[in-house]
Structure 1
Amino acid sequence: MTSIRTAFTLTTILSSLALLAVSPPSLASDITSRTSEVHEGIAMHGSPKYSPGFTHFDYVNPDAPKGGTLRRAVVANGFDSFNPFVIRGVAATGIGSYLYDTLLESSADEPFSAYGVIAESIETPDDRSYVIYNLNKEARFQDGEPITADDVKFSFETLVTKGHPMFRNYYADVAEVTVESPHRVRFNFKETTNRELPLILGQLPILPAHYWKDREFGDNGLTAPVGSGPYRIGDFEAGRSITYERVDDYWAKDLPTRKGRFNFDKIRFDYYTDDTVALEAFKAGNFDFRVESSAKNWATAYTGPQFENGSIATEAIQHHRPAGMQAFAFNTRREVFKDPRVREALAYAFDFEWANKNLFFDQYTRTDSYFANSELASSGLPEGRELEILDTFRGKVSDDVFTEVYAPPTTDGQKGLRENLRKALELLRAAGYAIRDGKMVNEASGEPLTFEFLLYQKTFERVVLPFKNNLARLGIDMSVRLVDTNQYVQRMRKFDYDMAVQGIAQSDSPGNEQREFWYSSNADVSGSRNYMAVEDPVVDELVDMLIQAPDRQELVYRTRALDRVLLHGHYVIPNWYLDKDRVAYWNTLARPENTPKNGVDPDNWWIKP
């Protein structure tokens, strides 16, 4: 589960429409015969933490005062859309989370449990072959129109046929949607053990069918739409700033899932094209809250009288969420990166230890898993149940999966980088390369080993340029191309890059979103998040197994097996992670005493009276 969970061929769309139109008679009759129980909350595995009748989440202040304005910064080249659900344009920050409510709300202190927002209760049988959402009859859109089951069905069908490709993958196992009454909607599923579907369907943003009736969903532009969430769009300046205004008569403000949240009257985002300028603007008091992504800034830039006198607070707040994978990602659609030995070789030229010491003030931990900082990460050699799973794929995956502990190259020790470059040279020779006139050349084609590194963050140049220099020692020419954020987004959507910094976020309960990351069928779907073009039937099968895990422990084993196969595929050069949120904020802000495992969430903060 990675939420929509976030900012994605004609044949595929037609197939999705066909699945929505009809469910096989045998499936429908079988599903109808199964009995279900009514729940106020639902957990992926086991029982949810919060009992029926709970009043608020443990990590909020239910008595937090309402009022004031939270000012934040976005470092990007602006926005040109108020529609975050389509592949066109760049949506304004905050649109998805502030403008639209969902059927359910996931808690931030459990692996994956969800509780009612628009849906006041859920019905699903033990095998989770279908789910029924009973809607709260008080639920309203921001124009006062009631939210009905027809709106839920419209939202689902619109998003899977006209929305970002991720929706089609995320909800691929839905067979049929039926409106049973104005406030009761049913989703039948294919014959599957996809236990996650009742929860991730709960993440569906609910759109007003009446508003979109005479409008084209993909052409929203900068016309403020009617939403269903706690904030509406207020003032904005195209590409430069946007302000969200709290809905005064928001129908859900006293629900247990909303109590103590969304406390600011206004939330304003100002856009900056340079992070250094944004940091100085923060210190000058132009905005109130900042999450620091730069280790250098954190170590050196948060100084001055406003810090000494307590006007600005800085905290590194521990979190326990999976770190996911930030990495230099190979686009294996490119011929130069087809051979995994080449990809593995290039990893030996990245000197993390040098970067951590000289650039990051030793703040980071090297990433060695797609699910780092969690029990889902593989480690050591496979054994027990994980080995049983992998044994079924012997001969179809690299033998290294069974015999070598995956670890990204390190320069710790006496030999350091020189030894790593020697290992890289061995791998490149095995892949058919040789040095000719100081250049690494493919002996069969005569083509030199060259590629482009695509960047949009100027601050990342100081990390990439030493990597470039190390590659040059191998006769490899890597050019660095810095583009603006809009161009970067478009090029990533079209897979128009050789290598780029990419982050693959993960949750404590991975599931259907893994299709979007790894499925072979998504490798060439424009806008998909299969950035590295992973096309491996073993990975496809492991993803299916992960989605169908019957309990938490089996989910852990299957996730570790998937993690191990991906790591030994050498699709990325892992970077690093931090198990803390580095935040700075002016002392007009206050936050709850308890921080959930998912970390800092300013939507739970408030302005001091």
Structure 2
Amino acid sequence: MAIGRRKVLAGGAALWVGAPAILRAQTSSKIHVGHGIAMHGEPKYGADPGPLDFLNPAAPKTGAVKFGTLGTYDSLHPFTLKGVPAAGLGSLWETLCWHSPEEAFTAYGLIAETIEWPEDRSWVAFTLRAQAKWHDGTAITPEDVVFSFDILKSKGRPTYAAYYADVIKAEKTGDAKVLFTFRNDKNRELPLILGQLPILPSTWWKGKDFEKVSLEPALGSGPYKVDSVDVGRSITYRRVPTWWARDLWFNRGRNNFETIRYDYYRDNTIIFEAFKGGDTDIRRENSGRNWMIGYKDLPAIADGRIQRAEIAHENPAPMQGFVFNTRRDIFKHRNVREAIGLMYDFEWQNKNLSYGFYQRTRSYFGNCELEAKGLPSPEELKILEPLRGKIPDEVFTAEYNPPKTDGSGNIREQVRKAIPLLKEAGWEIKDGKMTDKNGRKLAFEILLNDAAFEKMALPVKQNLERLGIDMTIRTVDTSQYQRRTDNYDFDMVIDLWAESLSPGNEQRDFWGSKAADIPGGRNTIGIKDPAIDQLVELIIAAPDRESLVTRTRALDRVLSWHMFAIPQFYSGKALVAYWNRFGRPSKTAKYEPLAFDTWWVDEAKDRALTRGEKK
């Protein structure tokens, strides 16, 4: 679906008079014109459906919020690989469309007032809103849209080139209209992911080097501006009171804070201490252990000054795991990856480090209908059979599940299984070390950017020592980590892939052969596999929901049985702790449980908290 997170087509049969004659000849099917477009079926909402039940249109526009974040930053230009961009920059620039968090994948016009496309989706056109403005009051133009597409695809982060690979060109076709022409009619989500294109000011960028690190934010169009900068330490944004999109139906009740500040810390432990001390306001908790015991004895929890919430959601569970860089020779053989994976004792870790809070990840599309379970269905076999011999044999014979232990910490059985796997791959224990026929020792480094991850890595290191395998743990700062991962200069990392309910073009960036050598891409593993490329293209070309589900399950099986990653864990809930000075909608969107832009400062609660009153 998307570029790391949607009834009603007005004038559906009308001819798009702005289309070039050649396009009209090539697309004999009817032209749709509307305020929204769904990947499959029809949009849920009308042109102005009234208040949305996961927003509070009466929320006050006041107050300040402070977040704590890890690492540092040295750039206010998030669209290039160079530099480390500051947190929160996404609130500065708007996109062509808004994507509904209540629908699997539906886009509604934001900068674009209407969307036009043929039945076969071989092109899409956007007509811009007359009121869409930059912060200096000038209009957002078709030239800005064309510039944004061209510059991001050619000089932006590699993600844009991957997502928009099937878009031939963008061109102005009217005073307020832009046409995107596609390579063919096989990529049905292109009209929606073009709606995610951030629009940048062409005039502002004229004469500037787009690929250069910059601490000057480009002219924006979003709900916030940069207010103050302390490079590497903090950044504050201020709400734009005259923001042109504030009264659009999906924005009523969003972007309520007057200022938003991000303070940077070097360590997650320090971030937690800052939160407990009131130096930050809201904390999204990612540690099951900390959630279970870290808050237990806090006086502010006991007296209600700090609130906690576990918010269920319907998002697919991300695949998070220890990830092998298969560009490294030692990890090219699946047996080696499988043997190392046996040394991750999830059951022991979950019991002893996370108090049983998590579930084991077993799928790249877990916790939803896209997840592969049991043996392949007849529909899946039609896709997989032509690939027999090019994909793991187990895809046809067994359901993938990661290895399971009794949680005692005794891994004798896992060691017994791992040694023959390594021997078959050419490795044997000599003088206590796993060694190949050339005398090379099996040793590698896991690269981390957060000391908290060391607790997960250390038990694996200790277990690997029983196999004569040396794993070095190296934790580095944010800048070095980004630099090394952008250039794939690592053996192993902890990474995750967050999937949507409508996977599509981003799968090329995750698993595609062409993405494997592009710096800064998301193919962390380094996969170059024609069979996987074929499955990805089938997903992108899926004509309906049923075929999308079938094709995604097939890909899930193949990825899992290749054992490119050692799956870790997930929770089906979003965890958040916050000082009791906020209001938030009583209902959350099903696919966006922690939408902080829908929260607001409750002045009565804020005054009580300032006076030190208990709940």
TMscore range, shorter length = over 0.9
- Offset at residue 553 of structure 1 (A): 1.2
520-529 or 412-421, which deviates more? 412-421
User: 1:94 maps to which residue?
Assistant: 88
- Offset at residue 192 of structure 1 (A): 2.9
- Offset at residue 182 of structure 1 (A): 2.3
Task: Count how many residue pairs are aligned between Structure 1 and Structure 2.
Answer: 587
The one-letter code matched in structure 2 to 1:472 is: E
User: 2:368 maps to which residue?
Assistant: 374
Question: 394, 418, 429: which is aligned to 2:423?
Answer: 429
CA distance in structure 2 between the aligned counterparts of 1:63 and 1:309, rounded to whole angstroms = 29
342-351 or 212-221, which deviates more? 212-221
State the SS of the aligned residue for 2:337.
helix
- Offset at residue 214 of structure 1 (A): 2.1
Contact 2:345 2:409 in 1 (8 A): no
The one-letter code matched in structure 2 to 1:365 is: Q
Calculate the aligned-residue CA RMSD, in Å.
Answer: 1.6
CA distance in structure 2 between the aligned counterparts of 1:184 and 1:192, rounded to whole angstroms = 21
CA distance in structure 1 between the aligned counterparts of 2:280 and 2:286, rounded to whole angstroms = 17
- Offset at residue 462 of structure 1 (A): 1.3
Contact 2:2 2:196 in 1 (8 A): no
408-417 or 234-243, which deviates more? 408-417
CA distance in structure 2 between the aligned counterparts of 1:58 and 1:329, rounded to whole angstroms = 40
- Offset at residue 428 of structure 1 (A): 0.5
User: 1:207 maps to which residue?
Assistant: 200
Are residues 497 and 84 of structure 1, via their aligned partners in 2, closer, same or farther at CA, if it must alter by over 3 Å?
A: same
1:2 is the counterpart of 2:10? no
1:550 is the counterpart of 2:550? no
Contact 1:55 1:259 in 2 (8 A): no
State the SS of the aligned residue for 1:133.
strand
CA distance in structure 1 between the aligned counterparts of 2:305 and 2:408, rounded to whole angstroms = 47
- Offset at residue 52 of structure 1 (A): 2.5
- Offset at residue 319 of structure 1 (A): 1.2
Contact 2:289 2:357 in 1 (8 A): no
* Percent identity of paired positions between Structure 1 and Structure 2: 49
Question: 53, 58, 63: which is aligned to 2:53?
Answer: 58
- Offset at residue 30 of structure 1 (A): 4.1
The one-letter code matched in structure 2 to 1:393 is: L
CA distance in structure 2 between the aligned counterparts of 1:4 and 1:208, rounded to whole angstroms = 24
Structure 1 residues 21-53: Cα deviation after superposition (integer angstroms, max 9, x where no partner): xxxx99756446554121111110001111222
Question: 31, 54, 69: which is aligned to 1:36?
Answer: 31
- Offset at residue 380 of structure 1 (A): 1.3
User: 2:507 maps to which residue?
Assistant: 514
1:335 is the counterpart of 2:340? no
CA distance in structure 2 between the aligned counterparts of 1:448 and 1:287, rounded to whole angstroms = 47
Query: Is there any run of 5+ residues in structure 2 with no aligned partner, and where?
Result: 6-19, 604-615
Q: How does 1:372-411 map to 2 (within 5 A)?
A: 372-411=366-405
Are residues 138 and 121 of structure 1, via their aligned partners in 2, closer, same or farther at CA, if it must alter by over 3 Å?
A: same
1:168 is the counterpart of 2:161? yes
Contact 2:96 2:198 in 1 (8 A): yes
Contact 2:56 2:598 in 1 (8 A): yes
CA distance in structure 2 between the aligned counterparts of 1:601 and 1:258, rounded to whole angstroms = 12
CA distance in structure 1 between the aligned counterparts of 2:596 and 2:501, rounded to whole angstroms = 21
State the SS of the aligned residue for 2:347.
helix
Are residues 26 and 407 of structure 1, via their aligned partners in 2, closer, same or farther at CA, if it must alter by over 3 Å?
A: farther
Contact 2:347 2:407 in 1 (8 A): no
- Offset at residue 470 of structure 1 (A): 0.5
User: 1:143 maps to which residue?
Assistant: 136
CA distance in structure 2 between the aligned counterparts of 1:166 and 1:525, rounded to whole angstroms = 9
User: 1:597 maps to which residue?
Assistant: 590
Q: How does 1:107-256 map to 2 (within 5 A)?
A: 107-256=100-249
User: 1:13 maps to which residue?
Assistant: none
The one-letter code matched in structure 1 to 2:85 is: A
- Offset at residue 532 of structure 1 (A): 0.5
CA distance in structure 2 between the aligned counterparts of 1:330 and 1:597, rounded to whole angstroms = 33
The one-letter code matched in structure 2 to 1:75 is: L
CA distance in structure 2 between the aligned counterparts of 1:391 and 1:170, rounded to whole angstroms = 28
Q: How does 1:562-573 map to 2 (within 5 A)?
A: 562-573=555-566
Are residues 203 and 79 of structure 1, via their aligned partners in 2, closer, same or farther at CA, if it must alter by over 3 Å?
A: same
User: 2:354 maps to which residue?
Assistant: 360
Question: 264, 269, 278: which is aligned to 1:271?
Answer: 264
- Offset at residue 590 of structure 1 (A): 1.0
User: 2:10 maps to which residue?
Assistant: none
CA distance in structure 2 between the aligned counterparts of 1:26 and 1:435, rounded to whole angstroms = 71
Structure 1 residues 558-600: Cα deviation after superposition (integer angstroms, max 9, x where no partner): 0010111011111000110111111001111111011112221
Contact 2:325 2:525 in 1 (8 A): yes
- Offset at residue 256 of structure 1 (A): 1.2
1:494 is the counterpart of 2:487? yes
Contact 2:148 2:200 in 1 (8 A): yes
544-553 or 29-38, which deviates more? 29-38
Are residues 417 and 30 of structure 1, via their aligned partners in 2, closer, same or farther at CA, if it must alter by over 3 Å?
A: farther
The one-letter code matched in structure 2 to 1:324 is: P
Question: 314, 320, 343: which is aligned to 1:320?
Answer: 314
- Offset at residue 413 of structure 1 (A): 8.2
User: 2:42 maps to which residue?
Assistant: 47
User: 1:11 maps to which residue?
Assistant: none
CA distance in structure 1 between the aligned counterparts of 2:93 and 2:381, rounded to whole angstroms = 43
CA distance in structure 2 between the aligned counterparts of 1:53 and 1:512, rounded to whole angstroms = 30
CA distance in structure 1 between the aligned counterparts of 2:281 and 2:337, rounded to whole angstroms = 43
- Offset at residue 253 of structure 1 (A): 0.1
CA distance in structure 2 between the aligned counterparts of 1:239 and 1:198, rounded to whole angstroms = 37
Structure 1 residues 411-434: Cα deviation after superposition (integer angstroms, max 9, x where no partner): 138996211111111111111111
What TM-score, normalized to structure 1? 0.94
The one-letter code matched in structure 1 to 2:271 is: A
- Offset at residue 153 of structure 1 (A): 0.5
Contact 1:590 1:607 in 2 (8 A): yes
